[in-house]
Structure formats: C-alpha cells, structure tokens
Structure 1
C-alpha cells in the first residue's frame, strides 16, 4: 500500500505552461525545492533572483510587491502583515539605542504607542512635534534624530500638513523621513515626489513610504496587510534584512485578494471621495455641527496645503470628521452613533460599508503642543459605497437622537 501513497506525493505530472488569465496564479509555499545543492547555495533571495523559503517570497508576493511599488512611485516594496507592522519594521530597521525619532502629534495612534513602548524600552527616545508648524519640527531635530515620521492628513482630526516643507527641513538636516501614505492610497499624491499640484519635484518627498493595504487597496474590509516602499537600494536592503530577521509573513490568499482588487482602486477611491464630499457638504450646514474637518473644504485646517499638493481638482479619499456643538454631551453624541443604521460602528476604513467612530481627541494629543483646541465631541465618518442619499437619510434620522 505504500507505493500508491508515494506516487500521489511524488506524481510526475507537470501541467503545461503558458497559461494566461486576468489574475496571476497563487503560489503557496513554506518549503521551496532546489534542483541541486549548487542551486540551493547560489539562490539570491535578497534581490528577487529566485526563491528560497516562503517568508522570502513566492511569484505571487513578488507580483504584488512590484505593483504596489509602481502604485506608490517607488522601485522596491516589502509586504508585511499590517500597516502597523510596516511602521514597526521601518522604525526597527532605521533606529538603534541612543537614536531619536520624531513623530507628528496628530499621527496614527499606534505609531506613537510603539514609540512609547517598544522603542523606549530599547533605549530609543522620541518626541511628538506639531506637524502644522514646520518651525516646531525644525527646533526639535537634534544630533540624535535619525528618523522623522510624516503623515497627511492627521489621523482622525484631518489637518493637512505642509508635507513638502517638512520633508525639505529633514532633507537639509540629513535626517531620513518615512511617510504613512495610507490616506492617499497611492492615488491622491505621490509620497516621493511632492510639489505644487501637477508640478511635481522629483525626490522632494519621503525616503520611505508605508501603506496599510488593509484600507483602499484591499477594498473589502477583510484583509490585513501593509507595504514598505523605497527607491534607494541600500535603504531597501536595511528594511528587508529586518523583515527577514523578524520573520514577517503574509497569507497568499490575502495577497490574491489585493491583486484582484487593485485594478478597481482608482475607481473606488474616486467614488469614496465624491460620496464623502457630498455628505460632508450637507453636514457642514447642519445646526448640530460646529466644524467640518475635511482637507478639500475651505476652512478645514491645512486646506491650503492640500490644494497646493493635490491641485484644485485633487482627490481627498472618503474620510472626514465633524465636531459637534459644545452643548452636546458625550452621551448624546454616543446616542447619535448608536442610532445610525447604515453606518456601522467600527475601526478602519476603505471598504464598501460606511463606518463611524466617536473620539476623545484631547486624550490623543499632547496638550503642550496645542494642536487641538475644540471643545465639542468629534466623530469620524468613513464613507463606503452605498448610495449617498441613503447615507444622508441615515445621518439625518440619527441626529434626532441628540435630543
């Protein structure tokens, strides 16, 4: 009985090649076979010249990496299990004991928490800077500053910072920059080449761009993955060796899902953007709302920076926040969120289902920086792909809960 089992495992059949289809094949592997010992010893995984082990890539992951690099305007890409893993990999690769990292005070919260936890425990210091004030960044850069994080717009509060100016300050001081470019989706602007509208300036942006593929590239709210994109080979190898030593891996079915979603990314991004603007424009004039926070709207903090970078007809994703009038308590705003039916309570964004989250902003910001002065309760909306008129009706009925 042993021979049939052996024949099943070592079956000689190999399907013919030259198979073409809209989607690339999914190659799953931990073990990778070699023809002989010489081939095993000669295989180069660092430069994608071959395959050695599943963690170092398969044809499927190499394909997604190349496409994400193209999307972001880079030349090298590394896949990791989440957007936060991308942030962590960059900080671990580029910082050592005695170094300092500067993080925007309005950055993605887990980036700040990683600095206050793991990095601090490893003897790496950090400061939070006011990204709306380039002079504050300039003053905080010191001899030990080795990395500056950038992000636009600010997480939750949606301030659009002067990215090109901040990157220029760091470049003049010889400090590496890493940009969390998840909001732009690789569509609204190129993180490596900043400038004014269509007048891009090559190399004027970040040294490293990270992207939570969980959001718009996935588009389904069902995949966790991140990407790290660079243009510099030496920098890429530093990041890649940390990736190897930490042992990051991604699921091949998840890679397949993102590869399938990528062709529709520009269409979905524009649809999210258009729907969010329509809903935001209506909410802006509601008596319950004290302020709209959306980079594409005049009066929103940093609107002029968004317009300078993205252009008058630029794109602006499907996210916005509103600040309720101060007379409404936390309990009342929570009741509004609970009353929503189409908008679901949930973190993340970029999927087909609209989401809403109330935030306690003062607890997320450093009071000494004075980045947040509003006293009303903030609610962030992520607009999905539902009909806008249905979303507006849902918000309108939920506003009745404020009473």
Structure 2
C-alpha cells in the first residue's frame, strides 16, 4: 500500500505538489536539430505521452510488477490492442470460452476478417490445453475468474503451455485487479485491465491498460503508436487519483459482496451463487491458491424461471441500478446472456443475475434484493 501511494510521481519534480500536474498538449519543442533527429529527449509528441500519462503508467507498473504499461481509451481497447499487436493473417488464437463478451465479438469479427482463426476452450481444460496448441498458435487469451460466471483456472499452467508452444499469453485481470492477482508473476506475458472499473472507481471515465514483460513490451508500444491511440491527461489524472484509495474501496466492496453472497447462498430461491471466494464454489481451491482476495462482482442463478422472472427481479430493485460496467461506487445488476458460449457449461437452473456490490450500506442492499425476490414470488 505504501509503495503504491508513492508510485508514479516524485513531488520534487513539481514544486512539492503531492499529485502530478495535468500536462496536456500535442506539440513538443526540441532545442536543436540534432536532438530532434535523435529524438533524444523524454517527450517528443503528445501522442507518445505527457508527464501525467507517464505517472500513471509508472504507478501501474509498480502494481503489476511489469516492465512497461500502455494506456488506451477503454477496457475493450486494452483487449483489442495486444491481440492486434501479436496476431496476423494465418495465425491461430486460443481463447477461454468464459471470456468477456466484447472480446469474443472482436475475435469473431475483426480478427476473422484479418484471417485469424479463433478457437475457444473450456476454462476447466487444464493440461488438455496442450492438445489444442498448433504450430501457428500465436496467442492464448485468458480471463480468470471467467466473465459473468467466474470459472477458475490454473493460470500458471495455461501460461506455461502457451510459452512452451511459442505463443504469447494474455490475461484480462479486471476482476481481481493487481491488488489480488499479478498475472506476470504466474508466467503471463501481458496483463489487461479496464481502468474504467476499480482504479477509476467513480463511473466517470473510460480507460484501459496493458502491462507487459520486457520481452513483449516493445511490440506492444509499437502497435500503440502505429494505431495512434493514447489517453487524455485529465482522465489519466483521475485514474491516478482513484488508485490512491483503491485498496480501501476494494476492501469495502469485498466485505459487502461476501456478506451478501453468504446470505444469498442460504436462500431457497437461489439455485447457485457464483462467487469464487465461497468454499461451495467449484473453483474455490484454485482461487484460494492463486488470489489474495476478491472484489465486489459476482452472480446468482435464480431457482427456476426465465426472462420474465429475471425482469421482475431486476425491475423491483431501487438501489441496484440497471446498467453495464462495474467497479464504481454504486451497486448495479443485470441479466447475463450466455447464449454465445461454445464449449463451457452455462447454468441451467434459471436466469443468471450479475451483481456489482457498491459502497452503499450492506443492509440496505440486502433489503433491495429481498424486494426483487418478492417480485418473483408475486408472479406465481
């Protein structure tokens, strides 16, 4: 915590101010032609970063244990940039089937048009992943826990299989954040994060990051410059500020989510609670072995019903807002659509409801969920 609070900025470089100044701009002047030709100064053009952006990159490197980090305008951009950087026509890409939906869409559309073949695998495949590797497999894309249904996997095993087969491994680490899981320490090459979520923490910005090993960073940075994407200094400052309190906020999210998850687990109208920190969850042992904690996002499976029951439950909520994203201060809920699964097993007992547990009083949130269950009972 202490090192993270100090990471990314030295007050001595900004007249003693404890936060970095917001430096925005495009043009950077050089003192002479020789310096310009050699690009022998820290900042050369706004696209390549400013001191504010550099402060955030350095702070994330401290958290991730990475050699270098690039910032992009959204979490989805943080997914698509490394895929584009390391894949080309004729390549094969392995993707865990419990992946974030927009990641799947990107693979099935943009990558397909580029001539990249994407193959999905069950998150429980384990050592069986080796059999799916091909001579042209260039990327193994992971997400742990899985999106919406939170399946766990042995990350080090999957990353090792990728490396042995000559492929680069990438992992979407948004759920755990580097506070609870550092993918590069488990052999992963690139750690992807939607900074929109917990680092921002206030539902007022969009940003993503990709943190890389020394061996993969140059290719990643080159791709970022070739696409011409970076982030605004103002948004970088907001994420930098949000990261200072992220530990405290995540601890609160985690505690409230676990209290609600245990309460929900005991209800007869809930078929399953999909939260990897619960001992009843099938992947709990894998979670416990690899992760140091949990956050505020999990799902429940209603006992019976379908879309009508899901709508009744959600429409009765007043504190849980109906909205996408998560990781902010406010609680959110939505119905999960798992029809795009290819090989991974989806719950069949009833509709899946994803809950983002915010920073509201947990007793108030419990009462709000109780109203949702009452609305479903009223349908009978």
TM-score normalised by structure 1 residue count: 0.88
Question: What is the Cα deviation at residue 207 of structure 1?
Answer: 0.7
Q: Report the count of equivalent residues.
A: 366
Question: What is the Cα deviation at residue 165 of structure 1?
Answer: 1.8
Counterpart of 1:329? 306
Q: Name the SS for the 1:220 alignment partner.
A: coil
Question: What is the Cα deviation at residue 374 of structure 1?
Answer: 2.2
Question: What is the Cα deviation at residue 330 of structure 1?
Answer: 1.4
Counterpart of 2:374? 400
Separation (CA, whole Å) in 1 of partners of 2:152 and 2:282: 7
Question: What is the Cα deviation at residue 230 of structure 1?
Answer: 1.1
Question: What is the Cα deviation at residue 258 of structure 1?
Answer: 0.7
- Could you say if the C-alpha distance between residues 262 and 373 of structure 1 is closer, same or farther in structure 2, counting changes exceeding 3 Å? closer
Separation (CA, whole Å) in 2 of partners of 1:324 and 1:277: 18
Counterpart of 1:3? none
Question: 8 Å contact 1:356–1:379 — kept in the other structure?
Answer: yes
Counterpart of 1:263? 244
Counterpart of 2:7? none
Counterpart of 1:71? 63
Counterpart of 2:6? none
Question: What is the Cα deviation at residue 42 of structure 1?
Answer: 2.0
Once superposed, what is the RMSD of the aligned Cα atoms? 1.5
Q: Name the SS for the 2:166 alignment partner.
A: coil
- Could you say if the C-alpha distance between residues 387 and 286 of structure 1 is closer, same or farther in structure 2, counting changes exceeding 3 Å? same
Do structure 1's residue 243 and structure 2's residue 224 form an aligned pair? Answer: yes
Listed as ranges, the matches of 1:134-283 within 5 Å are 134-194=126-186, 205-232=187-214, 234-283=215-264
Listed as ranges, the matches of 1:67-146 within 5 Å are 67-146=59-138
**Could you list the runs of 4 or more consecutive aligned residues of structure 1 that deviate by over 6 angstroms after TM superposition?**
none
Question: 8 Å contact 2:137–2:165 — kept in the other structure?
Answer: no
Counterpart of 1:345? 322
Q: Name the SS for the 2:63 alignment partner.
A: helix
Separation (CA, whole Å) in 2 of partners of 1:39 and 1:356: 54
Separation (CA, whole Å) in 1 of partners of 2:242 and 2:364: 25
Question: What is the Cα deviation at residue 96 of structure 1?
Answer: 1.0
Question: What is the Cα deviation at residue 17 of structure 1?
Answer: 7.6
Question: What is the Cα deviation at residue 18 of structure 1?
Answer: 5.3
Separation (CA, whole Å) in 1 of partners of 2:353 and 2:341: 16
Separation (CA, whole Å) in 2 of partners of 1:381 and 1:152: 17
Deviation per CA, 1:151-195: give whole Å up to 9, x if none.
10000011122212212222222221011111111111111113x
Instruction: Single out whichever of 132-141 and 221-230 deviates more from structure 2.
Output: 132-141
Separation (CA, whole Å) in 2 of partners of 1:29 and 1:298: 51
Separation (CA, whole Å) in 2 of partners of 1:389 and 1:375: 27
Question: 8 Å contact 1:162–1:302 — kept in the other structure?
Answer: no
Counterpart of 1:287? 268
Question: 8 Å contact 1:80–1:226 — kept in the other structure?
Answer: yes
Separation (CA, whole Å) in 2 of partners of 1:111 and 1:67: 26
Question: 8 Å contact 2:123–2:344 — kept in the other structure?
Answer: no
Q: Name the SS for the 1:146 alignment partner.
A: strand
Question: What is the Cα deviation at residue 371 of structure 1?
Answer: 2.2
Gap runs ≥5 in structure 2: 1-11
TM-score normalised by structure 2 residue count: 0.93
Question: 8 Å contact 2:69–2:209 — kept in the other structure?
Answer: yes
Separation (CA, whole Å) in 1 of partners of 2:200 and 2:14: 28
Separation (CA, whole Å) in 1 of partners of 2:344 and 2:185: 30
Counterpart of 2:353? 379
Separation (CA, whole Å) in 1 of partners of 2:210 and 2:309: 41
Separation (CA, whole Å) in 2 of partners of 1:17 and 1:261: 21
Q: Name the SS for the 1:187 alignment partner.
A: helix
Do structure 1's residue 20 and structure 2's residue 16 form an aligned pair? Answer: yes
Instruction: Single out whichever of 157-166 and 219-228 deviates more from structure 2.
Output: 157-166
Equivalent position to 1:355, from 315, 332, 341 = 332
Gap runs ≥5 in structure 1: 1-15, 195-204
Counterpart of 2:362? 388
Question: Over alpha carbons, which structure has the higher Rg?
Answer: 1
